[in-house]
Amino acid sequence: MSKDKVLGSKQYKLSELDLKDLSSDPFTQFDRWFSEVLKSDEKFPNAMVLSTADSDGIPSSRIVLLKGYDESGYSFYTNCNSKKGREIASNPHVSLCFWWSLLEMQVRIDGKVELLSEKITDEYFKTRPRESQIGAWISDQSEVLDNRESLEKKFNDFEKKKKGEEISRPSFWNGYKVAPTLFEFWQGRDNRLHDRFRYLLIDSKKWKIDRLYP
């Protein structure tokens, strides 16, 4: 396929978003959109870009999976010694971004990260496939790895050592929750005149809604 074809201009025609259709509560609005996405053929509906910044403000982004949400926040799990884990420890302000291409929708969520309780994290860890539990133990996430063979050897050795035993959660593998202070809902529209609505938390419970220029 030619590069021009891939990078060429595309129109967004699927839907539109108006103030009258929005919930006054961004959590409800997210829930409505997420329910729609779950009904679509989107392959990874819960994949979100997590952007963190180090203590000097230098940003980095990667995908993580949304594993739960409620009025208190949006949760994901990772290794707290990883690059993102270290950045969160020095700067808890993060940004999440979902792109649901089949519905031409984007949601941004900015907020502060908190650790999930050990109880919730342990419970979730128990539900993971055994291979993923082993993976959590043997991966020094974000560190330099000499070769693929060392990783597989670590995996096989750990598996042998723990044969028949329950695998508990490593203390360096944690759950995090983003408590939002800003949401933005973006619906693609024709001629790049997209619909954008931002919810800003102006006191602890009140959200101010504004339409933004695309």
Ligand X SMILES: Cc1cc2nc3c(=O)[nH]c(=O)nc-3n(C[C@H](O)[C@H](O)[C@H](O)COP(=O)(O)O)c2cc1C
Residues at the interface with ligand X (CB under 6 A): 44, 47, 60, 62-65, 76-78, 82-84, 141-142
Contact of 195 with 211, CB cutoff 8 Å: yes
> Minimal distance in Å, beta carbon 194 to ligand X?
25
> Minimal distance in Å, beta carbon 212 to ligand X?
28
Residue closer to ligand X by CB (options 89, 179) is: 89
Whole-number Cα distances in Å, 204 to 70, 72, 90, 141, 180? 16, 12, 24, 35, 11
Residue closer to ligand X by CB (options 82, 187) is: 82
Residue closer to ligand X by CB (options 83, 154) is: 83
> Minimal distance in Å, beta carbon 202 to ligand X?
31
DSSP 3-state of 204: coil
Q: Is 191 left (phi over 0), alpha (psi -120 to 50) or beta?
A: left
| 192 is an active site residue | yes
- Return the closest-CA partner of residue 179 out of 62, 79, 69: 69
> Minimal distance in Å, beta carbon 90 to ligand X?
13
Residue closer to ligand X by CB (options 32, 83) is: 83
Alpha helix locations (H) across 47-147?
83-90, 118-127, 130-138
Which one from 192, 196, 198, 211 is the annotated catalytic residue? 192
- From CA 136, how far away is CA 176, in angstroms rounded? 15
The continuous run of DSSP H or E covering 21 comes out as none
Active site members: 192
